[in-house]
């Protein structure tokens, strides 16, 4: 990693942060606001075909703002008060750095990294433009590029690597996670602040199918939505800042993935509720104000996405997962009623399965909220809406189940849908969303239940009795202990996963030589002794990503005559053999009298020539 480039990028980020802080943005939302703003600016440059220029302009603009505010600060102008350093800040900094260090040394293994997410970042980095109709290396052309643009900017300055991409995505996730502390009434209370720290750590348990060492966005979506909800609450008495925040978060959400629409609906629903509660004046004035602000916010939010939809329709004749009513109706007609029934049966079986992690998460959220409601009601005699919240979150779960089932029958081939491919991964997103919502509301009412409500008088003696003091201290200690333990568990789990992946195909391929960074149409054969990797196209996608070409093919079966073997081999320009393949080695001896085991080779008329 280029440390000078990292400093350069960091200075630019600090410049945006300094500007937003002076515009009244919450210090807990300002870092994420910086990043989302840069994503939208890069998006505009990319759509205009000026991505590389945009990276320079966006970064230098941030550095320019930092210099300006530094000079003004020296002159005693434009200063902002220091928020202070809290215990949870130390948790975020320390464990965040530890996780970033692990991710920086993590390889990409998951299938979807090579079918789209990683190859998209590599394409943007080394070509400097969005994919066009002739760039066949990008298969999912309808997928919006928000996270890819953010990672492209980061790796532009620090150097392209898989670890750098993972760190970039983690920065976005960590900044969004930091926003939850904005809802705290008293940030000096360890009990409530570390309840949120523990929530962040526990949320990774439900993300265990992909973890943080993958570029998939199933965790990015809910954590961005949570940050959007936080902004609606924090800016509830500042309607224009609230509208700008929701528009920004919603616009980026829609540009992360098409399935983000569900999270945007939740965000807009909460915004509507907040606008209704804050409305003043006569009923007709309230109605016009609420509808006007809602329309302006939503209209601004969807404009970037509509631009992307227009780009997809005018650039590509056919696109995977494109939003199209005609495509959905054709898919439904193709599946038939019997197929839909079978998928529905499997869907229900999975929901009620004792092995379903998402179902366990739903039960956990409900149990914690109901038990907390009971304790606050009996012990503190506090009336709280936690039961109503649990019911609301259950409604969100049911609606998401419906949208997920619709995706299986409308967007997926039957062979994938009948196995509920990715069910737990998709459901983890809404579990994470509702987990954060429940924790933030619970933290608010826990603080409201404390004996001393005057924050300035809270000290070691501000308790009703010695029993409540001991209970508070024990609860705080347990929150700190489990928040640290759970986060370290995720860090160690990622480290363990990296060690277990040492014999996987991507790691073995990396041993054959350095990855290619010049986009080409070279024909590359990846020899793989595992039929599953070839049949699932994993080997082909990996080779396309690694050798940066759209002409790679994975092959396992070489049971053929020497003449047919020769003819097959001559179709390619390069051959990669990351793992010993007995049949391939034997055929090379028969056809070319060469002893080939592993490595990267150039195809010649007389056989294979090793590439050094």
pLDDT tens readout for residues 458-509: 555 555 667 666 777 888 899 999 999 999 999 999 999 999 999 999 999 9
Q: What distance in Å separates the CA atoms of residue 407 and residue 426, rounded to the nearest whole number?
A: 11
pTM: 0.93
Using the predicted structure, report yes or no on whether residue 206 has a pLDDT greater than 90: yes
CB hemisphere CA count around 337 (13 angstroms): 0
Mean pLDDT of 277-301: 88
- Residue with the bigger pLDDT between 51 and 411: it is 51
| Predicted pLDDT at 462 | 58
pLDDT tier, 295 (very low <50, low <70, confident <90, very high otherwise): very high
Low-confidence winner among 168-172, 246-250, 252-256, 382-386 (lowest mean pLDDT): 382-386
Q: How far is CA 550 from CA 134, 253, 547, in A?
A: 10, 29, 9
| Predicted pLDDT at 38 | 98
pLDDT tier, 328 (very low <50, low <70, confident <90, very high otherwise): very low
Tell me the three state secondary structure of residue 384.
coil
Most confident of 179-193, 452-466, 523-537: 523-537
For the chain, give the mean pLDDT.
91
| Predicted pLDDT at 304 | 97
Q: What distance in Å separates the CA atoms of residue 179 and residue 181, rounded to the nearest whole number?
A: 5
**Residue 17, token pair as written in the block:** 């942060």
Using the predicted structure, report yes or no on whether residue 344 has a pLDDT greater than 70: yes
| Predicted pLDDT at 604 | 95
| Predicted pLDDT at 456 | 55
| Predicted pLDDT at 451 | 47
Q: What distance in Å separates the CA atoms of residue 26 and residue 233, rounded to the nearest whole number?
A: 11
| Predicted pLDDT at 471 | 73
Q: What distance in Å separates the CA atoms of residue 17 and residue 316, rounded to the nearest whole number?
A: 38
**Residue 466, token pair as written in the block:** 């010695």
């Amino acid at each position: 990693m280029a440390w000078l480039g990292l400093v350069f990028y960091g200075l630019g980020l600090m410049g945006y942060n300094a500007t937003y802080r002076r515009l009244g943005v919450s210090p807990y939302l300002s870092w994420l606001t910086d990043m989302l703003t840069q994503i939208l600016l890069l998006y505009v440059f990319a759509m205009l075909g000026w991505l590389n220029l945009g990276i320079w302009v966006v970064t230098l603009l941030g550095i320019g703002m930092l210099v300006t505010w530094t000079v003004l600060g020296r002159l005693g102008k434009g200063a902002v008060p220091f928020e202070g350093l809290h215990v949870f800040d130390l948790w975020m900094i320390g464990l965040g750095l530890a996780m970033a260090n692990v991710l920086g040394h993590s390889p990409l293994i998951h299938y979807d990294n090579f079918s789209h997410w990683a190859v998209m970042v590599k394409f943007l980095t080394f070509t400097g433009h969005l994919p066009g109709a002739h760039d066949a290396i990008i298969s999912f052309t309808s997928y919006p590029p928000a996270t890819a643009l953010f990672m492209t900017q980061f790796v532009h300055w620090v150097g392209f690597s898989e670890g750098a991409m993972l760190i970039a995505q983690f920065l976005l996730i960590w900044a969004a996670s930091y926003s939850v502390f904005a809802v705290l009434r008293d940030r000096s209370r360890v009990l409530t602040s570390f309840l949120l720290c523990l929530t962040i750590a526990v949320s990774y348990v439900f993300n265990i199918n992909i973890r943080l060492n993958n570029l998939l966005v199933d965790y990015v979506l809910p954590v961005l939505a949570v940050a959007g909800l936080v902004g609606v609450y924090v800016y509830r008495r500042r309607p224009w800042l609230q509208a700008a925040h929701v528009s920004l978060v919603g616009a980026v959400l829609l540009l992360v993935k098409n399935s983000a629409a569900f999270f945007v609906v939740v965000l807009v629903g909460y915004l509507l509720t907040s606008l209704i509660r804050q409305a003043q004046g006569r009923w007709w004035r309230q109605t016009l104000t609420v509808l006007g602000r809602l329309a302006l916010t939503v209209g601004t939010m969807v404009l970037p996405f509509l631009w992307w939809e227009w780009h997809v329709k005018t650039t590509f004749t056919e696109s995977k997962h494109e939003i199209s009513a005609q495509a959905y109706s054709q898919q439904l007609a193709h599946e038939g009623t019997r197929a839909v029934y079978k998928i529905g049966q499997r869907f229900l079986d999975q929901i009620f399965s004792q092995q379903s992690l998402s179902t366990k998460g739903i039960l956990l959220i409900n149990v914690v909220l109901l038990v907390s409601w009971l304790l606050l009601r009996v012990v503190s005699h506090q009336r709280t809406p936690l039961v109503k919240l649990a019911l609301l979150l259950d409604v969100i779960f049911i609606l998401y189940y419906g949208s997920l089932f619709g995706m299986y029958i409308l967007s997926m081939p039957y062979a994938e849908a009948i196995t509920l491919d990715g069910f737990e991964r998709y459901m983890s997103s809404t579990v994470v969303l509702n987990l954060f919502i429940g924790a933030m509301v619970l933290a608010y009412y826990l603080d409201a239940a404390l004996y001393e409500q005057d924050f300035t008088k809270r000290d070691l003696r501000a308790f009703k009795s010695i029993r409540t003091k001991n209970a508070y201290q024990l609860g705080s200690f347990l929150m700190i202990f489990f928040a640290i333990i759970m986060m370290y568990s995720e860090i160690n789990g990622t480290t363990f996963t990296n060690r277990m992946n040492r014999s996987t195909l991507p790691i073995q391929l990396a041993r054959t030589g350095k990855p290619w960074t010049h986009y080409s149409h070279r024909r590359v054969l990846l020899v793989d002794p595992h039929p599953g990797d070839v049949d699932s196209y994993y080997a082909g996608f990996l080779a396309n990503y690694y050798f940066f070409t759209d002409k790679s093919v994975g092959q396992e079966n070489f049971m053929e005559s020497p003449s047919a073997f020769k003819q097959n081999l001559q179709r390619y320009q390069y051959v990669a053999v990351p793992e010993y393949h007995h049949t391939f080695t034997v055929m090379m001896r028969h056809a070319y009298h060469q002893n080939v085991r592993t490595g990267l080779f150039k195809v010649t008329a007389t056989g294979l020539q090793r590439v050094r």
